[in-house]
Structure 1
Amino acid sequence: MSGDTDTSGTSPSQFAGGEERLQKILARVGFGSRRKCEDLILEGRVAVNGVIQNQLGARADLDKDKITVDGERVRAPKPVYFIISKPRGWYSTDDVPDKKILDLIPGEHPRLFTVGRLDKQCEGLMLATNDGHVANVLTHPRYMVPKVYKIIVKGHIKFETIADMEKALFYALNGGNFERVKVLKRSPKDSTLRLIVYEGLPTAFRDICAKFGHPISRITRIRVGTLELGTLAPSNVYRLSGEEAMKLREYAAKVERGEETPPTHRLVTAEWIKKAGEREQSFEKKETGHRGAPSTGAKKRRADLGRSKQRR
């Protein structure tokens, strides 16, 4: 920490109109997630007007106060946004020695970080930016920003199986926030599905698909909010234009104000799970004449009927 940072001096004024919490300012200018910025404060690495701030309630105005991290003056950088087409086998985090998707971006861009995560075997759309505010809106579960995945599973999947997988995913997510799975294409070899979730896709989804006899062979994220992967090939990078960046910030602002909400009629809910179970029971009752499996007598009558048909 530099010599001009001490525990005496002028603390930030507490009631100025342009003030924000320190962790929010640091996240907005690209020091990482809100949680990471809180850790910087708690570790005593942040100072305002020469005063170390190690409490999360501290506030400041970036335009008026001198904010430093490890002695370095905090300034608001020009926000930049890159769409990266993450290839399979690469990492979306920055704490690995190689194959980091940030290395795919040409040039030097201070405090650039990825928004959200995709595991190593997934591919598709990743956003990299230095705009912590937009990043927080796109990733925080409370904002319910849609993430769209195209998933290829092995085998010709049945619609009844999809319903069972939806139930399993509902419980894996502790209550959901995803839409009904849509079948885009089916063949004897494999099936292509579309899944829209409003939080992170759990790693348990691979296990769910495998459990029902349809292991995943490929997962591609094709959309996050208003951002689309389009035809961007793996390992390629696209920088948003000024107009596109403005539209992204406008979208984030609408989400914050509650003007962009998911279509609740398409969400898998506890009520839908209950009704699906009732429909299954009703169908079973029509088939057997009662709830549950057919009786021994019913099985014998069916067997006798089958033998009679064979003799004919």
Structure 2
Amino acid sequence: MAEKLSLQNIKNAIESMKSFFDIVRLVDTTKTTVISYDEELNILKEQERCYKLWNKDVRCENCTSMCGTLEGCAKTKYEFIEGDLYHVSSKPVVVCDESGNECKIVLEIINGVSDDVLFHKFGINDQMDQSVVSLIAEIYHKVYEDPLTKVYNRRYLEEFIYLYKNNDEVAKRIGFIMADLSKFKEINDLLGHDIGDRILIDVAATLKEHIEPSDSVIRMGGDEFVIVLVNYTKEMVVAKMELLRKEVNKICYNEPEQSYVVVDMGYSFTESFETTKEFVNHMLKEADESMYLMKKRI
């Protein structure tokens, strides 16, 4: 639950923390902007994009401010500025003005992490610093990556990151496409797991190739994938599903026998996505039922 604070309280808190931390700021996560108050403490003024501090052109993929807002609790991460490492703590708060109006924002506390604190603690010398910086960045990426296919994993879906991937504002119009490979277990048993793995890798790459940068391919496990489409109409979701089906069905896994992948697909769509596990499960169930009905028609 986000803490409620008055404008004066938040101003006093920020002023007191500035002497201890490198950067203390307020962020509007829905607009990815840094915000401040005027002299009378009754107007919130928008400033620059919050991700510009990290020399990025789009919202951070590991946006702890948005994640904290969605989950209603503080989140932390590490970020980099030209090789220097910073610890970021993002705490969702509700700011109330004198009229009783409430504004949901995030208090970000940012502090540099020195070599002595991070590297020397683990017996790492100065020459290794840059490689450790790269390693930490890679670890953040791999947290949400399926190791076999290199698309996103189930955790990525559960943490709602697809809602703001490459988008400054959180999407509400969302489509889920469920994809399941027909007779995949039989192919695995007959031709071996190496062929099965190659099929999964090729399917994932094909799906990824034919979606937009703001869309996401997620491997749920086994031969099941979910494609998340952002800011599509229902008609566009259906058209994209048919395109993806056609492209996946072009994948040949046994040239001598001219054997091709067959994929079953179904979809769900909403214009008002809700950031709850129950709503995600409802969308997944609807897409799964749609896939089952389409499979019966074939």
Give TM-score scaled by structure 2 length: 0.30
Higher strand proportion, which one? 2
Higher helix proportion, which one? 2
Greater CA radius of gyration, 1 or 2?
A: 1
